[in-house]
Amino acid sequence: MNAESTCISLPVHTRPAVVAGQLKNFAAFLPGAQVVLHVSAQARFTAAQLEAALRQAGCANAHLNPQRLATGWGNILLAHLANIAWIRRRLPQCARICLHSSNDMLVRPGLARHLERGSNFLHTRPIRPGSRWRFAAPALADPALAAVCRRLGNAALIGSQVEGSSYEAALLYEVADVVKHAARQAAQAPYPREEVWLSTVAHARGACVSGTPYVFSEVHRFDRVFWRVLQVVDPLIGRHGDPRWLPRRALEFLMIRSGFHHIGRGTVDSIAQDLADRLAPHEWLSDGAGPWRVFDRHGLYGVKRVPRRPNAPLRRYIEQLSDQMGERAGAAPGEQGLAHSSHEDH
């Protein structure tokens, strides 16, 4: 399994220039991989505008999925399922599917070799009552997901970050077959279904897990500190671990606004240079349902969240890394144009 047999599922809704920059980033750090774009129905640009931006940037690694579904927070699973179905029909050579979002980028060379060492890369995060994870309760109360788990022999819920997760294509096709109808049913309370459904079914199907997702997320950095704070304040505000309790929500909002958890150049450099000693203290996390491994200290190749603004300093810094990779590899912009299928597969 090599980069040429790797596909990336990428739902997008932001500016065409940002999408083009992300595809150039993928081409530099995972050359040969084909990126399948699902453009949100709410996107404020046309397919023609996106195609023009991709051609101008020399992005020869893109395919446009003609299906455009509504997306939003807590409503990304269907977009990935649409991309998985498109890959299954149109790219039969695909042996691996990696999942990404429009606010992550790669920063370290060697990802293709890393993926070749294993089968599937996802988390084994237990989701049980009493978890401090804010989305555990909605996931446990989701009747559509509960029905899926019953069909799988009362499978336990297992969560995984989507960004940087990687599946054998055959396994992900099987997972998609299991969930595609149930996923159309709305959840009683919104939560990021894509972080629970795919990994739960994959584990229930006996997935061979070789490692964790290869993207470092600031979300886990935030949760680590937030949960430590809750251990102190829970006795004062009551309702231990209840994410709906107003004082807890207010505290969470204020901590998010502080921005202490945001990704900076220091984190990018630590990952780009594989400075494992800096990363090792954050390798494991416990949210009340048992410890789980957030990342392999030597298995990180990307970061999120990267601001979705073309001139954001962090994005520009990572784009410089991409340019340096391209220069070292002697890579020239693709000339074959955009491989799109906007008129097919409706």
Which of 157-166, 191-200, 221-230, 295-304 is predicted least confidently? 221-230
pLDDT of residue 3: 59
Handedness of CA 48, 53, 56, 57 (dihedral sign): negative
- Regarding whether 222 and 169 lie in a shared domain, the answer is no
Cα–Cα distance between 13 and 15 in angstroms, integer? 7
pLDDT of residue 330: 58
Burial 71-92 (b: 16+ CB within 10 A, else e): beebbbbbbbbbbbbbbbebbe
- Regarding whether 306 and 283 lie in a shared domain, the answer is no
Cα–Cα distance between 13 and 208 in angstroms, integer? 33
254-297 pLDDT tens trace: 988 888 889 999 999 999 999 989 989 899 998 876 789 999 99
Q: Are 128 and 136 in contact (CB under 8 A)?
A: yes
- Regarding whether 69 and 152 lie in a shared domain, the answer is yes
Within a domain: 342: no
Q: Of 307 and 286, which is predicted with more confidence?
A: 307
pLDDT of residue 325: 83
What is the total count of domains within the chain? 2
Q: Are 295 and 219 in contact (CB under 8 A)?
A: no
Within a domain: 280: yes
Within a domain: 334: no
On the question of pLDDT at 230 being above 70, the answer is yes
Full residue range of the structural domain in which residue 58 is found: 3-217+296-329
- Regarding whether 87 and 190 lie in a shared domain, the answer is yes
- Regarding whether 322 and 225 lie in a shared domain, the answer is no
35-69 pLDDT tens trace: 999 999 999 898 899 999 999 999 999 999 999 99
191-202 pLDDT tens trace: 999 999 999 999
- Regarding whether 176 and 106 lie in a shared domain, the answer is yes
- Regarding whether 233 and 206 lie in a shared domain, the answer is no
Which of 70-79, 107-116, 206-215 is predicted least confidently? 70-79
Within a domain: 335: no
Please identify, among 293, 314, 337, the residue that sits at the C-terminal boundary of a domain.
293
Q: Both tokens of residue 275?
A: 């400075």
DSSP secondary structure code for residue 28 in this structure: H
Task: List the CATH number of the domain containing 131.
Answer: 3.90.550.10
What is the pLDDT averaged over residues 102-129?
A: 95
pLDDT of residue 1: 57
Cα–Cα distance between 291 and 242 in angstroms, integer? 20
Within a domain: 283: yes
Q: Are 88 and 69 in contact (CB under 8 A)?
A: no
- Regarding whether 91 and 20 lie in a shared domain, the answer is yes
Cα–Cα distance between 305 and 328 in angstroms, integer? 26
Q: Of 249 and 310, which is predicted with more confidence?
A: 310
- Regarding whether 265 and 206 lie in a shared domain, the answer is no
- Name residues whose C-beta falls within 8 Å of residue 122's C-beta, 6 or more positions apart in sequence: 160, 165, 166, 167, 198, 199, 202, 207, 209, 212, 213
- Regarding whether 228 and 202 lie in a shared domain, the answer is no
Within a domain: 343: no
Within a domain: 248: yes
Within a domain: 125: yes
DSSP secondary structure code for residue 4 in this structure: G
pLDDT class for 329, splitting at 50, 70, 90? low
- Regarding whether 132 and 15 lie in a shared domain, the answer is yes
pLDDT of residue 134: 87
pTM: 0.90
- Regarding whether 210 and 275 lie in a shared domain, the answer is no
CA distances for 67 relative to 172, 195, 223, 291, 315, angstroms: 19, 22, 35, 39, 28
